[in-house]
Amino acid sequence: MPEQFDLLNETPVRPELEDSAALLALLDSWQAAGWLRPLDRALAGFLREQAPDCPPLVLLAAALVSHQLGHGHVCLDLAATLQTPDFALSLPPEGAESVDAPLPSELLQSVALTDWQVALARSLVVDSEQPAEGVRPLVLVGQRLYLRRYWHYERDVVSALSERLQAPLPVSDDFAEQLQQLFTDSKHAPDWQRLACALAARGRFSIITGGPGTGKTTTVVRLLALLQAPAVAAGQPLRIRLAAPTGKAAARLTESIGRQVGQLQLKDELRDAIPTAVSTLHRLLGSQPHSRHFRHHRDNPLALDVLVIDEASMIDLEMMACVLAALPAHSRLILLGDKDQLASVEAGAVLGDLCRQAEQGYYSEQTRDWLEAVSGQSLAAAGLATGDAEQHLIEQQTAMLRFSHRFGSDSGIGELARAVNRCDAPGARQLLHSGQFADIHQRSLNQPADPAFAACVLGTDALPGYQAYLQLLKSQRPSADTPAESDAWQAWARAVLNVFDQCQLLCAVRKGDWGVDAINQRITGLLHARGLLPAAQGWYEGRPVLVTRNDYALGLMNGDIGIALRIAEPALKPGDPERTALRVAFPRNDGSGGIRFVLPSRLPEVDSVFAMTVHKSQGSEFSHAVLVLPPARNPVLTKELVYTAITRASKHFTLLESRAGVFEEAVRTPVRRISGLLLN
């Protein structure tokens, strides 16, 4: 029997919603057009096999939950989907071919929310009452539909965090004095770094969020000194571990934490007990080949007392659940990150969800009194909202750093990032347009072959592009008789990689004329045509590549960037002439400045990386970041995407627009990630 849908709704029910075979045929055509992943379609097919009576609307919901996971949403929000189906589902995707099949908006026109909920609640493949006791593959909570696994992750994260947030830990009697000693250089009132340090010192869970250069690393180094001092004095140093979601982010933190620890006025014994090596989360948890399970979990917890995770905006829900499960109960977890950055590509926006109210503070009177007492500062003029200790559980352990020491009011990058963050599109445009700041630039592009694009890609002395690293590659190449074992090859590779890092094109999308794939091809062709690259296909010297899959055997992580270089190789046998070979040079990412050379054929999956998505650029910094916006409106064009791109730039930011107005549209659109991660 077909389900009855909204009887008052005159719109005829589409045949695909009355017949499962017709629905699966429609999903097939969506998949063929690249609208759905094979995985999404397969889930609907699998459920139909398991439960042949499963109504088409339930099969459709299953395929859509899976599709939404692929777009970073932990669940399918039925109401949001019915309100603006094509937009909520990001269909059709940017650059996808047209397809002779109805759009989600046409398909769902006749469907009412309550009918969809009832159909799901009645279905044998959905648990809607007491899901914890069920085993069905889908879980319905109100208007949110989950795959069971993700519902579990969300529930596990909420319960582990609630547990960690229960009672504050005691601090020593001279805590206020110690804080004072560590923050003698406070220049701002209130000094949020000192407040953040105090909050983190009293909790088994805390968040320190802030934009670029607000002093997250500075604060955490002092916090570690504060926590470690009594432990070292007692002869039982804390086991502290530092981690980040990607190799690139880990390398950056290794460098900055090493510098900061070196600058602190501490006794050697204490300084030596503060680690500076940062590992990736995958390595910390012990990833295992061909398995999503880690070596460390609830029954084999990590041997540590304090875990600091930087760039926490990149942690997805599954990873957060795995980290929390692997932590010993007594340990402290401190998350550092910029809540306003894009979330991970994977499902879930954990930091953003947890920091929803960080701006307003929402400290309870008790928390505020305690903070004022230990920090000796007043919060009266800080403009914070007053919260309730139980209702605003997470807020009691969250501090937002508000002053950028890197990008002050004289920095166009800082001002632009702040305007974008406020969704102030006219203000952001005015900053770009006025010429008031020498570090931010804008260019309009009329068509893909626009000469302004080529000029930007090649670069100038003042505004780095890709010409510089290719010229350096040629001009500084060690002479042909340099022995294979000479350090000169490493030094050359390091110099080429460093100069390459000065500029990076960032795209919002993968497909279409202004997507990563087309732009990579266009730049390769352009550099080849100018004689800067020897070829435009396959492997050639100068090709920059991005690793897109972890390879533990090679020690390469998703996100690592290398460049193909022709280097000397030892002779096969004594007396033979030395040979040359194309190898891909990667930085060792361990703070040593070392380079490793890998044969191209041994590499895991890689892409050329003259352009990368903004998502992939997280955790990286470039002297000159160039953001390319495509013309079509797309749900990925959000203010978080623009903000993330701007904050990748350390010296210059350029906006390349393929249509007037697209920047404003993006800045006005805050990201919507659907999840139910609420602790209060």
Ligand X SMILES: Nc1ncnc2c1ncn2[C@@H]1O[C@H](COP(=O)(O)OP(=O)(O)OP(=O)(O)O)[C@@H](O)[C@H]1O
Q: What is the binding site for ligand X (CB under 6 A)?
A: 185, 193, 210, 212-218, 256, 405-406
Q: Measured from the CB atom, is 65 or 645 closer to ligand X?
A: 645
Q: Cβ 187 to ligand X, closest distance in Å? A: 6
Query: Are the beta carbons of 610 and 523 closer than 8 angstroms?
Result: yes
Q: Cβ 555 to ligand X, closest distance in Å? A: 24
Q: Measured from the CB atom, is 161 or 244 closer to ligand X?
A: 244
Q: Cβ 405 to ligand X, closest distance in Å? A: 3
Q: Measured from the CB atom, is 213 or 562 closer to ligand X?
A: 213
Q: Measured from the CB atom, is 89 or 416 closer to ligand X?
A: 416
Q: Measured from the CB atom, is 263 or 436 closer to ligand X?
A: 263
Two tokens, residue 650:
């350390």
The radius of gyration of the chain's CA atoms, rounded to the nearest angstrom, is 27
Q: Where are the beta strands (DSSP E) in 410-560?
A: 440-444, 503-507, 544-547
Q: Measured from the CB atom, is 512 or 619 closer to ligand X?
A: 619
DSSP 464: B
Q: Measured from the CB atom, is 194 or 616 closer to ligand X?
A: 194
Q: Cβ 189 to ligand X, closest distance in Å? A: 12
One-letter identity of residue 498: N
Question: Can you give 57-116 as a three-state secondary structure string?
Answer: HHHHHHHHHHHHHHCCCCCEEHHHHHHCHHHHCCCCCCCCCCCCCCCHHHHCCCCCHHHH
Q: Cβ 464 to ligand X, closest distance in Å? A: 20
Q: Is 213 annotated as a binding residue?
A: yes
How far apart CA 676 and CA 143 sit, in angstroms, is 11
Q: Is 639 annotated as a binding residue?
A: no
| Exposure of 111 in the CB half-sphere (CA atoms within 13 A) | 32
Query: Are the beta carbons of 519 and 612 closer than 8 angstroms?
Result: no
Q: Is 630 annotated as a binding residue?
A: no
Q: Measured from the CB atom, is 125 or 371 closer to ligand X?
A: 371
DSSP 632: S
Query: Are the beta carbons of 321 and 157 closer than 8 angstroms?
Result: yes
Q: Is 361 annotated as a binding residue?
A: no
Strands 606-608 and 544-547: antiparallel
Q: Cβ 139 to ligand X, closest distance in Å? A: 36
Whether omega before 104 lies within 30 degrees of 0, making that bond cis, reads no
Q: Cβ 215 to ligand X, closest distance in Å? A: 3
Closest alpha carbon to 625 in 633, 638, 616: 616
Instruction: List phi, psi (to 5°) of 318.
Output: -65, -45
Q: Cβ 244 to ligand X, closest distance in Å? A: 10
Q: Measured from the CB atom, is 173 or 185 closer to ligand X?
A: 185
How far apart CA 586 and CA 561 sit, in angstroms, is 6
Q: Is 214 annotated as a binding residue?
A: yes
Q: Measured from the CB atom, is 214 or 287 closer to ligand X?
A: 214
Q: Measured from the CB atom, is 214 or 344 closer to ligand X?
A: 214
**65 C-beta neighbours (distance < 10 Å), count:** 24
List, in order, residues 6 or more apart from 543 with CB less than 8 Å away: 533, 563, 564, 608
Query: Are the beta carbons of 493 and 565 closer than 8 angstroms?
Result: yes
Q: Measured from the CB atom, is 649 or 655 closer to ligand X?
A: 649
Closest alpha carbon to 172 in 193, 192, 202: 202
Q: Measured from the CB atom, is 406 or 588 closer to ligand X?
A: 406
First to last CA, the chain: 42
Two tokens, residue 359:
């701006």
Q: Cβ 425 to ligand X, closest distance in Å? A: 24
Whether omega before 604 lies within 30 degrees of 0, making that bond cis, reads no
Q: Is 217 annotated as a binding residue?
A: yes
**293 C-beta neighbours (distance < 10 Å), count:** 11
- Report the DSSP beta bridge partners of residue 139: 127, 146
DSSP 180-219: HHHTTT--SSS-HHHHHHHHHHT-SEEEEEESTTSSHHHH
Distance from the Cα of residue 519 to its chain's centroid: 22
Q: Is 348 annotated as a binding residue?
A: no
CA distance to 14, 31, 98, 204, per residue, from 103 (Å): 12, 13, 10, 48
Q: Cβ 280 to ligand X, closest distance in Å? A: 17
Helix axes 412-421, 639-646, angle to 10 degrees: 160
Residues in the annotated binding site for ATP? 210-217
Annotated binding residues = 210-217
